[in-house]
Amino acid sequence: MVVARRKLTDNKKTTRARPAKGRILDAAERLFAQHGFYGVSVRDITDAAGVDVALVSYHFGGKRELFTAVFQRRAELLNAERLEMLEGVRRAALPGVPTLEAIVNAFSYPLLERSARGGPGWKSYFALVAQVNNSPEWGPVLMTQHFDPLVERFIAVMREALPTCPAQEIYWGYQFLTGALTLTFAETGRIDKLSGGLCKSSDLDSVHERLAPFVAAGFRALCASREAAKPGGP
């Protein structure tokens, strides 16, 4: 009997061959990125995915769990990639320390590259991260949980590269970096309008060329103005 061949009916579940779970994740990623967690209903998602409403509960447990599943899905791969690049940069500089530009780049390039050329799923994912990072409700939970281990390693390497710089300066510098980076991912098109079309928020290659020099110079300025004033005080 024929077993490998799927029968070609026109009912809902066979209109696309891809399994429902992945299609739900993709649709949820896109819609959550656009409108946020509360701005999207489970029905919006399952309609967009072309699957039944009940499958969200079946595969994920509920809407909230779906949201965290979306957030989690790409985080692991991403962080492995960034960690590898960071350690590569560190090894390449031995017995010295890497430049600040190289460190910042290891932190941001894998993200910018995926967002630019990884496909629409990745683009949505980073827009979602941008919103979560700036949300008092979700940021402290999700960002901390999924990205802080990598960030700690990143900051440790930064401190090796700036041995005389007080730790606070590195932490504040990191906050400025992540703010600049995540707003970039939001791609709101605001810079397009402001610049009269001269800059495009979708042009992540331009961001890649500029972010590391900008941030590295910022770190140096912070450290320069502080390391002398460290011991004692006025």
Locate tokens 């790409």: which residue?
74
- Which of its own copies, DNA, none interacts with 84 (beta carbon under 5 to 8 A by kind)? none
Is 115 a residue that touches its own copies (CB under 8 A)? Answer: no
**Contacting residues for 67 by C-beta, under 8 A, at least 6 apart:** 28, 32, 37
- Which of DNA, its own copies, none interacts with 32 (beta carbon under 5 to 8 A by kind)? none
Is 179 a residue that touches DNA (CB under 7 A)? Answer: no
**At its nearest, how many Å lie between its own copies and the CB of residue 191?**
5
Is 137 a residue that touches DNA (CB under 7 A)? Answer: no
Locate tokens 């590195």: which residue?
170
Residues between 3 and 22 that touch DNA (CB under 7 A): 11-13, 19-21
State CA 98 to chain mean position distance. Answer: 23
Residue 58 vs 171, nearer CB to its own copies: 171
When binding is defined by CB under 8 A, the residue of 131, 153, 231, 232 that contacts its own copies is: 131
| Distance of alpha carbon 39 from alpha carbon 20, whole angstroms | 22
Residues comprising the chain, all counted: 234
Query: What is the identity of the amino acid at 146?
Result: H
Q: Is the previous residue joined to 163 through a cis bond, with omega within 30 degrees of 0?
A: no
| Distance of alpha carbon 123 from alpha carbon 226, whole angstroms | 38
Is 81 a residue that touches DNA (CB under 7 A)? Answer: no
**At its nearest, how many Å lie between DNA and the CB of residue 65?**
8
Residue 33 vs 42, nearer CB to DNA: 42
Contact 70, 146 (CB under 8 A): no
**At its nearest, how many Å lie between DNA and the CB of residue 66?**
8
**Torsion over CA of 164, 168, 171 and 173, rounded to 10 degrees?**
-70
When binding is defined by CB under 8 A, the residue of 80, 137, 156, 164 that contacts its own copies is: 137
Residues between 197 and 216 that touch DNA (CB under 7 A): none
**Contacting residues for 213 by C-beta, under 8 A, at least 6 apart:** 101
- Which of DNA, its own copies, none interacts with 218 (beta carbon under 5 to 8 A by kind)? its own copies
List residues near DNA by CB under 7 A.
Answer: 11-13, 19-21, 40-44, 51-59, 62-64
